[in-house]
Structure 1
Amino acid sequence: MNKIRILPEKVATQIAAGEVIERPASVVRELIDNSIDAGADRISIKIEGGGKKLIKVVDNGEGMSRDDLLLCVERHATSKVKEASDLLQVKSLGFRGEAIPSMASISRMNITSVPRGHLTGHRLRISGGKLLSIEEAGAPSGTITEIQDLFFNVPGRRKFLRSPQTEKNQITELLLRASLPFPHIHFRLEEGPKTVLNLPGSDDPRLRLSAIMGREVSKVILERVEKRDGFTIRLFAAPSDFTRNRSDRLYCYVNGRNIRDRSIAKAVMEGYGQRLMKGRFPQAVVFIEIDPSLVDVNVHPTKQEVRFRNPQEIFQAVSSGIGKTLSPESRLSTIPPLNVPAREPVYRMQTPFASVSDGEWVYKEEKAAPLPETKTPFEKFSVEREIQIIGQLGGTYILCQSSEGLLVVDQHAAHERVVYENLKRAFETSSVEMQGLLIPFEMELSVKEKTLALEKGDGLMAFGLEMDHFGGNTFLLRAVPALLKDVDWTSMVSELLSRIEGKEVDFAAFMDETVTVMACHGAIRAGQKMNREEMRLLIDQLKEMDLPTNCPHGRPIIKEFTYYEIEKMFKRIV
């Protein structure tokens, strides 16, 4: 008997479905691709149980005839490719004819479609790949696709799905990404009676950027167009003041298709260059419009990867384009931002290291000092050690003199350590003092941040943040930790929410991470002038800390230059 056998059609289809459909978000992606290809400008999605129980997509596209409706559930039936050469000229988002039959084989599916200009259409019912019925039905022009009980007949796949909340978050993120290249399309996501996402259509791409990346970013985001032979790149890049701890706000599109490409991400990072701190990621959008013959989109089942014929040219155009976008000349000539109220920026451009303030160097000729004993980091900055403030360098470093030599202290890192340890002690002893704001602070969050804030708002209370939903994407911050002063609350809350996204544990479990974020946002900034009393107070506070040598991120706070090292530097000793 042969060991190798041809699989039954049903099994083969389910295997193929496993490559195309990984989770509910995969279903939504394929269905909205079809809706966009059908010319829809309104797409509504309704889910239940995170999409495991129900996914319903309604569009006002061109619809399908009865014959096309029957063909769309057959494998490799498509209206977008007729012969092999067409694969080299793919202009649509969908083209393989695999998605609908894959969904039909692992769910209970209903499709109702009415062609444009017709009063009635047809409804098709299919379960586990088996056609149950097709009948005449009345509905608005367009297509309604319902997917119920996803993976009901593939329990091995169903058990690997995450919680309804996580699956819903995946769908939300997918819709946000998918909507960026199509600002004219109205996208709406509902879960039961609740509206999760509502993105009205507009001719202004910045309105869509505002909804997805937040109004604060959309006000300052910079735009540039790079034209090359065979392709055009449209770039949107936020200034380096608006970086994040994750790369989730770096979007890339090729002919409207959202892709994940490490090379392009690297090109963006290279374009930002030294504007980025280590461990920080930019907020940027890259739209590549390219001749379809110069890119292969048929390289991955999910179509999230592509292969360029000229990858180095694309890389260079993105990298140089980002650099030019962020240049001072570009900032002077950007298109006008959205008309939204101005607020003070979180960070300011660091001033050049031009002077030493509040102190003077006094030269006194002495004999060369002997090589000092090696001290541990804690001994270098002990409470008993006498330290004299010399002044501030470049508005960023505090210069101090000790009996052993010169100490250079990073003021932001130092204050970050002080705020971190004080906050952590307060949280660990449940003694956080909250300060009510006389005038509530108004915050405009992104759509995704709004969803997270509504879900996790109670958890934020444990860390001294009290806020209410004011409507739309606006929240009012009513109370804050008394230990934090002069903080950009919108930026801090945004980063806190991004850290807990998709994590199914209590907010309190992220105490250390939360306190680190708060300390970073609550600390004195580089470039901020300090008087002698402020510098002395900070140094005295730092000496009391458990770990005064490193900030919560691990960066050094203090650099010591001993008299021995200095005199050797000036050739006073051999």
Structure 2
Amino acid sequence: MNTIRVLSEKVAIRIAAGEVIDRPSSVVRELIDNSIDAGATRIAVRIGRGGRSVIRVSDDGVGMPKDDLLLCIERHATSKIRDLDDLYNINTLGFRGEALASIAAVSRLTITTRPKGSLTGFRLKMAGGKLESIDEVGSPEGTVVEVRDLFYNVPARRKFLRTPRTETDNVIDVFTRIALGFENIQFLLETEEKVLLNLPRSKELIPRLSLVLGRKVAEQMLSSSGRMDGVKITAYIGSPDFARSRADRVYVYVNRRNIRDAMITKAIIEGYGQRLMKGLYPQVVLFIDAEPSMVDVNVHPAKQEVRFQDSAGLFRKIVQVIDTGLGKTLTQYPVETARTRHEHVGEPVQISWQETMPGSVSDILATSPEDYGAEIPRSSLLDEEVRLLGQLNSTYILCEGREGLIIIDQHAAHERVLYDKLMKAINESSLEVQTLLLPRTIEVSVREKRVLEENREVLLELGIEVEDFGGQAILLRAIPSILENADWELLISQLISILEQNRVRREVLLDHVIAVLACHGAIRAGDRLTDSEMESLLQQLNEAALPTNCPHGRPVLRKITYYELEKMFKRVI
């Protein structure tokens, strides 16, 4: 039987370091927090190999005298709190005094600092938690922290690090999340090869939002605010048009500290209600300013979780703030889902064929035969002869079959047709590509641009050619001809989301991407179709491999039998 022993200081500090520092992005977060607490107006971060080889964070903050420099590397040495009561009145990002000691224990650490008003500075060097030297040096005011060879003395932790590319993405995410909360500070992020993000100081948040989220997303954001006892909530609410399949663009700040909180994310989604398609997440930046005594930030080693005094009340208030903000100008958001298409419930419905604008839906529904009769031939889809009745609410195609009424979702039907056409063309290397005479400029974030660059070959296979246009812009040079009418800014945004989360086999990735392409290229709910256009769509649907469902699994059609209709009208019991 093993006996209980007290751990050595060396082992204890490495265990503690593992709780606070688990990857390069953790180092970046802790060092930036320190710079902000030091009153910096400019913070620059430089990384090598995703932070595995070097992380360098410099600032123009207050700096440290020699005595504080020696103390800052000791465990639980902090200027932020003095006693237990201070834990419930925290106004800074850091407060435990663990970060620098933890970083020093698992790296080669150099700190160069010069206090404001001092003529000289000091440089401290450590390796594996051991002090090597401290010297007087000339340096600018502020502090520079350089971390080299992270986890060099903890091989088990080092082998769990991801590729430099993935670690760089993690650093970009952490850097971005902090920078969005402090628009009054200039932030610079660069690798050994290039500048990734340069965010100038700003008096307003919108310029910062434009640089991080993209101009188009930021321009359509709505602002909304509300108050409850001791708490102010301010939300910048993105259009449902730019919703994503992940919650990576939900930014939540409590007293400017970025946190991740499932309860708050749920409240945001509930605030969107039926404006947001199920399974998608909006782009939202939410600030919660609360009395420090109402928030407990000392519940997680990385300080990314907090506990609220009145979480139920906060939940309700966030829902209200989001709902109120969206309610101001709901007409700005032409989002149509199955839950929001019934504007005329209770009014008589007229079923009719209506002419479309030249060159719109007719072009999308490129017909094969010159003309179709009123009857659709027997097929694998309908398995019976049907008669076209018309269009309902510019969304559904109505047909009469042998057994009753057939209702077809025109968007889902065309989505299935386009998916099959795209998949067939790609598999047979016969996809028609249209080179744009005037390439389109699309704004993306730094991280999104990296995703596009990494998946360039996949995009080319899909007939999509993009090119770096400097800064936070790309040029769209070529697209599949079949999708020339798609909203490519929105489509590129959703493609990036798919590419980011699908690091899987090429076949699986292509399937996901083609489904998104088909969705964006298809006719929409609200598009009026002529009888020939509806007949053309039905004929093409009959030839689809899986005509009963769209590529995302939604049903394409529903049948109501004559017997069910007779029961509705009490003609039979």
TM-score over 0.5 for the pair: yes
Distance in 1 separating the partners of 2:336 and 2:275: 13
Q: Matches of 1:531 and 1:204 in 2, distance apart? A: 50
Q: Which secondary structure does the structure 1 equivalent of 2:526 belong to?
A: coil
For residues 300-315 of structure 1, the aligned pairs below 5 Å read 300-315=300-315
TM-superposed CA distance for 1:385, in Å, is: 2.9
Q: Residue type matched to 2:343 in 1?
A: P
Cα shift readout 1:290-339 (whole Å, capped 9, x = no counterpart): 00000000000010000001111110110111111110x3569x9xxxxx
- Name the residue aligned to 1:561: 560
How far did 1:276 drift?
1.6
CA RMSD after TM alignment: 2.1
Offset at residue 520 of structure 1 (A): 1.3
Matched letter for residue 253 of structure 2: Y
| Structure 1 pair 557–441 and aligned structure 2 pair: CA distance change class (3 A) | same
CA distance in 1, matches of 2:305, 2:250: 15
> SS of the counterpart of 2:483?
coil
Which runs of structure 2 are paired with 1:28-39 in the superposition (5 Å)? Answer: 28-39=28-39
Residue of structure 2 equivalent to 1:432: 431
Q: Does 1:230 align with 2:230?
A: yes
Q: Partner residue of 1:3?
A: 3
Give the drift of 1:42: 1.1
Cα offset, 1:388, TM superposition? 2.2
Alpha-carbon distance between aligned partners in 2 of 1:524 and 1:382, rounded to the nearest angstrom: 20
Q: 1:504 to 1:130 in 2, by over 3 A?
A: farther
1:415 correspondence with 2:414: yes
Corresponding letter in the other structure for 1:313: G
- Taking only the aligned residue pairs, the percentage that are identical comes to 50
User: Paired residues, what number?
Assistant: 545
Q: Secondary structure at the match of 1:352?
A: coil
Displacement, 1:462?
Answer: 1.4
Q: Where does 1:95-114 land on structure 2 (aligned, <5 Å)?
A: 95-114=95-114
Cα distance, 1:331–1:435 mapped onto 2, change above 3 Å: same
Aligned to 2:144: 144
Do the aligned partners of residues 347 and 482 (structure 1) sit closer, same or farther apart at CA in structure 2, a change above 3 Å counting? Answer: farther
The amino acid that maps onto 1:486 is: N
Cross-structure match for 1:292: 292
The aligned counterpart of 2:392 is 393
Deviations 1:518-547 (A, max 9, x none): 111111111222222221111111111011
Residues 16-61 of structure 1: CA distance to partner in whole angstroms, max 9, x if unpaired? 0000001000000000000111111111111111101111111111
The verdict on how the C-alpha distance between 1:505 and 1:118 changes in structure 2, with shifts beyond 3 A counting, is farther
Asked if structure 2 preserves the Cα contact closer than 8 Å seen for 1:210 and 1:446, the reply is: no
| Structure-to-structure mapping, 1:473-512, within 5 angstroms | 473-501=472-500, 510-512=509-511
Report if aligned partners of 2:381, 2:548 keep a CA contact under 8 Å in 1.
no
Give 1:406's aligned residue: 405
Q: Deviations over 1:373-408 (max 9, x none)?
A: xxxxxx985376322222221121111112221111
Return 5+ residue gaps in structure 2 as ranges.
Answer: 355-377
Does 484-493 or 80-89 show the bigger shift? Answer: 484-493
Aligned to 2:72: 72
| TM-score normalised to structure 2 length | 0.91
Maintained 8 Å contact 2:491/2:517: yes
Q: Which amino acid aligns with 1:283?
A: Q
CA distance in 1, matches of 2:492, 2:305: 33
Report the equivalent of 1:352.
Answer: 343
Distance 1:540 1:42, change over 3 A: same
Name which of structure 1's ranges 15-24 and 183-192 shifts more when overlaid on structure 2: 183-192
Displacement after TM superposition at 1:210 (Å) = 1.3
- Report if the CA contact (8 A) 2:275-2:335 is conserved: no
- 1:194 to 1:206, Cα distance in 2 relative to 1, 3 A: same
Contact 1:462–1:508 under 8 Å retained in 2: no
1:89 equivalent in structure 2: 89
> Contact 1:196/1:451 (CA < 8 Å) preserved in 2?
no
**Cα deviations by residue, 1:338-383 (Å, 9 ceiling, x for unpaired):** xxxxxx97879857345334269xxxxxxxxxxxxxxxxxx98537
The CA deviation string for residues 466-522 of structure 1, in whole angstroms up to 9 with x for no partner, is: 122222112221110112131111111111112222665676651111111111111
The amino acid across from 2:436 in the alignment is: L
Specify the alignment match of 1:53 in structure 2.
Answer: 53
Match of 1:171 in 2: 171
Match runs of 1:319-338 below 5 Å: 319-327=319-327, 329-330=328-329
Unaligned stretches of 5+ residues in structure 1: 335-343, 361-378
AA in 2 matched with 1:267:
A
- Provide the rounded CA distance (Å) in 1 between the counterparts of 2:334 and 2:198: 28
User: Taking structure 1 as reference, are residues 571 and 331 closer, same or farther at Cα in structure 2, changes over 3 Å only?
Assistant: closer
Q: Which amino acid aligns with 1:244?
A: R
Counterparts in 2 of 1:569 and 1:497: CA distance versus 1, 3 Å: same
Letter of the 2:563 counterpart:
Y
Aligned residue number for residue 570 of structure 2: 571
How far apart are the structure 1 equivalents of 2:330 and 2:504?
A: 42
SS in 2 for 1:495: helix
Q: Distance in 2 between matches of 1:98 and 1:462?
A: 49
SS of the equivalent of 2:512 reads: helix
Q: Deviations over 1:137-170 (max 9, x none)?
A: 1121111101101001110111111111100000
Could you tell me how far 1:459 is from its partner in structure 2? 3.0
For 1:427, the aligned partner's letter is I
- Residue in structure 1 matched with residue 374 of structure 2 by the alignment: none
